[in-house]
Amino acid sequence: MTAFTSADSKTAYETLPGQERFVAPVEQTPLQDVDSIDESAPATSMWADAWRTLRKNPLFVISGLLILFIIFVALFPQVFTHQDPNYCTLENSLGPSAKGHPFGFDTQGCDVFTRTVYGTRTSLSVGILTTILVMIIGTIIGALAGFFGGWIDAILSRGTDIFMAIPLLLGAIVVLQMFRTSSSIWKIVLVLALFGWTQTARIARSAVLETKNLEFNTAATSLGSTPIRNLMMHIMPNSLASIIVVTTTSLATYIVSEATLSFLGIGLPSTTVSWGGDISNAQTMLRTNPSVLFYPSVALAITSLAFIMMGDAVKDALDPKSRTS
């Protein structure tokens, strides 16, 4: 093979016939700043980019305002009504709306507006507490299964499959029927969390499996970081996006599940104000006085819709692939 001839602009290398290579001269292919980067701009992270996307999403703004209003109602119901939700007189049974009672009265003569306002606290408490507990249990089990693998992954994954095969409401109904001696918010939360952590565990396992093979984990290991430190300091913070998305969407499911259990009469006791219990008590009035059933049902629907919309907005912000698919 002959040497490179710079004088010939058409043939860079003179090789065997059929193996010639063409190299254009430098003056015909000048370098351009096609990938220039503004080095003065501050560094951004995934969470900063997600927040920038969320602020421009009308779905996030609307759902965020609704959720803030719902939380305010749950924390400060006295701002909206000064009535006692458990104060009922039969003289007002199925009475129409009046001053200070815009939604009228139910069959027992209770103020529907007051019970709807105070029912927000119960439903929201069950939804948030269940979501937190589900996130903790599912994240721990899924992270351990995905990080260590082997027999640990096999045992935890098979246990997850067993609980996943049991429908949430069916499992909750069976357990609550077995322990009907007492009912409280914490009992409903524990039962819903017992059968609701499986989806979070599967998502956490997949996220950890994907994250643990990235370069930063290998670099941390080469610098002497222990496996547990890698899991807690590097892998889990980079796996939280998928977990947050699924738990945000699931919060609405737990609110509806609590209402369903109370509607069936095996959830919260009748002394606890809840939307599900009020809907159950008003179902016989659907034809004669539908407004008694309408208001708690609308409150339940709006609350569930707000968290579902929030989950969709967070998913679009943390998962760019969902916006292009």
pLDDT digits (tens, 9 = 90+) for 112-142: 999 999 999 998 999 999 999 999 999 999 9
Tokens standing for residue 44: 């951004």
Domain boundaries, the chain: 122-320
Tokens 């949430």 map to which residue?
Answer: 168
Q: Is 224 left (phi over 0), alpha (psi -120 to 50) or beta?
A: left
CA 171 – CA 162 distance, rounded (Å): 12
Count CB-CB contacts under 10 A for residue 39: 5
CA 88 – CA 107 distance, rounded (Å): 9
Tokens standing for residue 60: 């996030």
pLDDT in tens, 165-197: 999 989 999 998 887 766 788 889 999 999 999
pLDDT for residue 65 is more than 90: yes
- Give the model's pLDDT for residue 197: 92
Mean pLDDT of 301-316: 89
Tokens 């759902």 map to which residue?
Answer: 63
- Give the model's pLDDT for residue 36: 54
Fold of 122-320: MetI-like fold (1.10.3720)
pLDDT in tens, 277-287: 888 888 888 78
Pair 160, 188: CB distance under 8 Å: no
Q: How many residues does the chain have?
A: 325
- Give the model's pLDDT for residue 155: 93
Pair 197, 137: CB distance under 8 Å: yes
pLDDT for residue 251 is more than 60: yes
pLDDT for residue 5 is more than 80: no
At residue 41's C-alpha, the angle toward residues 35 and 42, to 5°, is 125
The DSSP-derived string for 180-246 is -S---HHHHHHHHHHHHSHHHHHHHHHHHHHHTTSHHHHHHHHTT--HHHIIIIIITTTTHHHHHHH
Residue type, 244: I
Alpha helix (H) residue ranges in the chain: 46-55, 58-75, 112-148, 150-164, 168-178, 185-196, 198-211, 215-222, 227-229, 240-263, 275-282, 291-318, 320-324
CA 134 – CA 248 distance, rounded (Å): 11
pLDDT for residue 202 is more than 70: yes
Helix, strand and coil percent figures for the chain, each rounded to 5: 65, 0, 35
Tokens 């599967």 map to which residue?
Answer: 202
Average pLDDT, the chain: 82
Mean pLDDT of 210-235: 80
Per DSSP, the chain holds a count of helices (H) and strands (E) of: 13, 0
What's the pTM value of the predicted model, to 2 decimals? 0.79
